[in-house]
Amino acid sequence: MKRNLIIVIFLLALTLHAFGNGLIYVPNLGYKNSLYIKEQEVKVQITNNYAQTEIKQIFASRVSSVLEGEYIFPIDEGSEISNFAVWDDGKKIRGVIMEKRRAREIYESLVRRQIDPGLLEHRKENEFSARLAPIPGYGTKRLELEYTQLLKVDSNTIHYRFGLVSEKTSEKIEEISITAIYHSNIPILRIEPEHDEISVKRNDDNSYEITWSGKKIDPDKDFGFYVTFSPEDLGFSFLTHRKTDKEEGYFLLSILPQETIFHQEEKSKRYLLLLDRSASVSEEKAMLSDLVLKILKGLKPEDEFNLLYFHNYPEFYSDSFNRNTSNAREEVREFIDNLDFYGGTNFIKTFEMAFEFVNKQENGNEIDIIFITDGNVSYYEIDYKKISDEIKRINKGNKIFCFGIGNYANRLFLESLAGSTFGAYQSARKFENYEKIIRTFTEKFTLAFLSDIIINWGNHTVFDILPVDKKPVFLKQQQFFVGKYTTPSQGDINITGKVMGNDFKYQFPDISLPAKNEMNGFIPRIWGKERVNYLLLQIKLHGENEEWIREIIEISKKYNFVTPYTSFIAAPRSVLKPRVIRPADPYIFIKTDESIVQVIVKFPFGETKQAEFDNELGLWKVRFIVPKDTPDGEYECTVISTDRFNNQFLDRLKYTIDSKPPTLEVWAKPDKIQRGETVEFFAKASQDTQILYVLTPDKERIPLIWDKDSGYSKGKWKVPEAYTGDLELTVIAIDFAKNKTSVKVKIKIF
């Protein structure tokens, strides 16, 4: 591909802000607003609460320069990128998972060779970036992205959202089409779109189509909707997947407790809100004051509250708890609006002061902690393991409810902290409509919950069950357990636990772990994601461990999703060598990465061959037939490569058939020369000539090297003293297809 000027548009982290839709940004270097979304198509498939989102975006350039850019895409918590592709010269180049360091090396190598790859990496919490080149002047760049997520069930409701709102641009989207197909095995009570431009069509009792499309769309609202279920009792669901009886099987057990199993007595409570006011949340200041107000409105009038706001050092809003009146709530909001947000976060000092305040209260009412932060520590103690251990040590039994704010909330830490105290975790991204999120969050403050969960598997033999830590399950909130099995079985499953201190037991009769079930193919990826989440939490708490990192990389490759230690590289999976061949029965060689275990090549002449791996060369090789009467020209073969996880990759690679030997014209200067002097050879050869040399009588090869100034290939030879008289030398030219031409050149030696 021909390249001219390339304007590099990578952005530093300091210049990036929160946004919803995936965009390629250009800094203010004369290229601001040079790119816009020309076309966007989003297709969503949701089964119960498992969502798969496919995005196709076409970006267009308003400038004549060739641009190179960084594509930034934020996704919701718990999501994982499962596919990535770029388009080049009308061809789709699908991304593959590689270890992060290796993927970067390949990307840089391909860029140097003027091959146009894409590299997608985990950038930070819930955000991914892709390096892309080139974006042609006045041209377009097409991207495809797919991510999957297990939508959280709260208050019997799931929320799907595809973000479009951005503070970074008000650029209109030329054309957009979003279609979500929703299927449910649980009775659906209602579906509520986030705004009236989204239409909902009912296909049948358990299937709906939710759409939004238009042209010249302002990205001032998101595409999103809420689905509310109407389950019974424990809302039990048990799904399995086993591709073959020779592979491990997977299961997904879900419970969704309903009012019928909960009996509780409501009473007034006290709440201490810990509010982050550090620099890392300064951009969410307006959101924070509104968030606190909505949380307080969600409490009962007889409840009481106080506020502890913190950065490097924490301070109390009041010396005592305050009544939850309308005036008190407005005063708190006004106070937060006038706060300065700066500095770091001192979590340990904050919790020390919080528990000291809580423990000296004489009133016997229960006190809960509401921790509002992005969870990213930056002052005093920054070791998350030490922070978690210290909070657990000084906590005398108070529940901690964590609310993660902004696009980069530290979910793993906050979720673990809340779960360890029988609290709950919730979050809201910037620009997200969080009215219902707050409602479900505050409901948990007073809800009974199912704790001390024990699953008796009966006749079933299962293993590698996740999550490892069994968190409390609140009313109308889903808890799932995902694991593996090898032996088919049939029998009852019993769940026991405690609700408000009372014993609880529930039986699910006649559950099957089948020998084979090709449905529910998403379950293995859920298991892989949960396992990686567990390992990442261990790394956050205990530091990096080579064994954990190796396992994360292996799981990422097997289940095909990006992690902090792996990346998607969008480049041809295989490369042909040579690219130019002669008719007859030539060998071609195929270079792949080390994970490939099988290569099959389909040729345009109706022949399909399996390649063999040559250990000495480190290449796959295959011999095939090119019919003698095949015209010279460019042809395409299909290379199907399979990795050790049985993933298949398809590359269409071009090669050229060339039966014509190179043309060659040679002369010597001078053509009459004395012994011991130097003669210079000049040659004109075809452009596809690869090797060109003069062969002397004693078999020495004199290479003829291209000289761009003269326009000839040239080489020099010092005539040995032993030669005399007329001498004829052979000049040989060999092209990339190994076609060969030889001519004679004469010199006279005296």
Residue-wise pLDDT for 663-721, tens only, equals 999 999 998 999 989 999 999 999 889 899 999 988 899 999 999 888 899 999 999 98
Q: What is the pLDDT of residue 414?
A: 92
Please spell the DSSP secondary structure of 374-407, one letter per residue.
-----SS---HHHHHHHHHHH-SS--EEEEEEST
CB 72 within 8 A of CB 16: yes
Please, what's the b/e burial string for 448-465 (b: 16 or more CB within 10 A of its CB; e: otherwise)?
bbbbebebebeebebeeb
DSSP per-residue string spanning 92-159: EEEEEEEEHHHHHHHHHHHHHTT---EEEEEEETTEEEEEEEEE-TT-EEEEEEEEEEEPPPBTTEEE
- At 268 the pLDDT is 84
Distance CA 404, CA 395 (A): 21
- What is the predicted pLDDT for the residue at 13? 26
Domain boundaries, the chain: 6-226, 237-258+470-567, 270-446, 572-657, 664-749
Longest dimension (CA), the chain: 120
pLDDT of residue 468: 84
SS (H, E, C) 656-692: EECCCCCCEEEEEECCEECCCCEEEEEEEECCCEEEE
664-749 and 572-657 share a CATH fold: yes
Q: Name the residue with tokens 């809302």.
A: 235
Q: Can you give the pLDDT at residue 24?
A: 63
> Hey, what CATH class is 664-749 in?
mainly beta
- 3-class secondary-structure state, position 589: strand
The β-bridge relationship of strands 648-657 and 633-643 is antiparallel
User: The whole model's pTM is what?
Assistant: 0.68
Q: What are phi and psi of 691, to 5 degrees?
A: -125, 135
Q: Is domain 270-446 annotated with CATH 3.40.50.410?
A: yes
pLDDT reported for residue 709: 87
Helix (H), strand (E) counts: the chain: 9, 50
Q: What's the CA gap between 686 and 669, in Å, rounded?
A: 21
Residue 126 gets the label, from left (phi > 0), alpha (psi -120 to 50) or beta, of left
173 by DSSP, 3-state: which?
strand
Q: Which parts of the chain sit beneath pLDDT 70?
A: 1-33, 68, 110-117, 125, 133, 165-170, 231-234, 261-266, 364, 379, 572-579, 584-585
Which CATH superfamily, name and number, covers 6-226?
A: tricorn interacting facor f3 domain (2.60.40.1730)
Enclosing H/E stretch for 549 = helix 546-559
For 572-657, the fitting CATH number among 1.20.1250.20, 3.40.109.10, 2.60.40.650, 2.60.40.10 is: 2.60.40.650
pLDDT of 484: 97
Burial of 357 (0-12, 13-18, 19+ CB in 10 A): middle
State residue 14's pLDDT score: 26
User: Which run of H or E residues covers position 307?
Assistant: strand 304-310
The pLDDT value recorded for residue 571 is: 72
The DSSP 8-state label assigned to residue 244 in this structure reads S
**pLDDT recorded at residue 3:** 32
